[in-house]
């Protein structure tokens, strides 16, 4: 099987549950600050996964983001399975011509999303799953894409565009990963101590149900990647 390319933007925002769900080789790269990164040919990968990060999807101070957007656009054109998470979804949206809204509305913590359309990958989460949010930017729905999930604060929480799935929320997070985030100053900047305590308590309550559902959802993406081989 060809590897799945995983693009990361922060050391604490790795693939989490996505890795085991793919059940195949991963090629993890960080090209955030590389002006002309040497990314693999799409012919050499089974899929592309783009993770989250604290920067804006159009931040020119991180020149590698432009290369990621070009790769995402090319991947959709080539029908390569793509999964974009949080910043990854925003990069995917920009790659497909949508508009980014900086500081649109902060959502941090566990809260439900309304799933509004069927999707083979998103489906196992259910119709109104409680998921982990950690963002303040938002992106419009790309032209021709299907809206899959929404919240009042963030109308586009998930979308499907051909071979690509964008998720504004974080299905990849495990209990240990959440604890890492809650003890990473870059993640908790701006949060009061009682908010950190609340997110930790909500994680203990919701992750035992969310993780098995997320594993099934991400396994569906893994099946798409393995089918490409």
- Selected catalytic residue, list 62, 133, 135, 170: 170
Q: Are strands 100-101 and 138-139 parallel, antiparallel or unpaired?
A: antiparallel
Distance CA 129, CA 7 (A): 26
Of residues 13, 86, 107, 206, which has the active-site annotation?
86
Q: Please state, in angstroms and as integers, the Cα–Cα distance from residue 85 to each residue in 36, 91, 195, 212, following that order.
A: 23, 9, 23, 18
Residue 83 sits at φ, ψ, to 5 deg, of: -130, 120
Query: Is 60 an active-site residue?
Result: no
To the query of whether residue 62 is one of the catalytic residues in this protein, the response is no
Q: Which of 13, 68, 107, 172 is catalytic?
A: 172
Contacts of 82 (CB under 8 A, 6+ apart): 47, 48, 49, 50, 72, 75, 76, 92, 163, 164, 165
Q: How far apart are CA 12 and CA 52, in angstroms?
A: 10
Structure tokens at 71: 């790769």
Active site residue 170: yes
SS (H, E, C) 178-200: HHHHHCCHHHHCCCCHHHHHHHH
Phi, psi of 120 (to 5 degrees): -65, -30
| H-helix or E-strand spanning residue 221 | helix 193-228
Catalytic (active-site) positions: 86, 170, 172
């Amino acid at each position: 099987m060809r590897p799945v390319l995983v693009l990361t933007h922060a050391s604490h925002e790795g693939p989490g549950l996505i890795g085991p769900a793919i059940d195949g080789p991963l090629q993890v790269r960080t090209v955030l600050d590389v002006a002309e990164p040497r990314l693999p040919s799409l012919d050499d990968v089974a899929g592309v996964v783009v993770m989250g990060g604290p920067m804006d999807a159009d931040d020119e101070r991180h020149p590698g983001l432009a290369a990621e957007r070009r790769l995402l656009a090319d991947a959709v054109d080539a029908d390569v399975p793509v999964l974009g998470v949080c910043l990854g979804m925003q990069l995917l949206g920009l790659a497909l011509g949508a508009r980014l809204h900086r500081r649109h509305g902060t959502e941090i913590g566990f809260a439900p999303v309304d799933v509004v359309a069927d999707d083979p990958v998103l489906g196992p989460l259910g119709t109104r799953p409680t998921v982990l949010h950690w963002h303040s930017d938002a992106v419009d729905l790309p032209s021709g894409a299907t809206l899959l999930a929404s919240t009042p604060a963030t109308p586009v929480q998930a979308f499907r565009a051909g071979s690509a799935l964008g998720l504004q929320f974080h299905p990849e997070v495990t209990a240990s990963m959440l604890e890492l985030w809650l003890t990473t100053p870059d993640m908790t900047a701006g949060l009061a101590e009682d908010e950190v305590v609340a997110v930790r308590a909500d994680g203990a309550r919701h992750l035992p149900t969310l993780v098995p559902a997320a594993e099934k959802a991400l396994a569906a993406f893994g099946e798409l990647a393995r089918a490409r081989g």
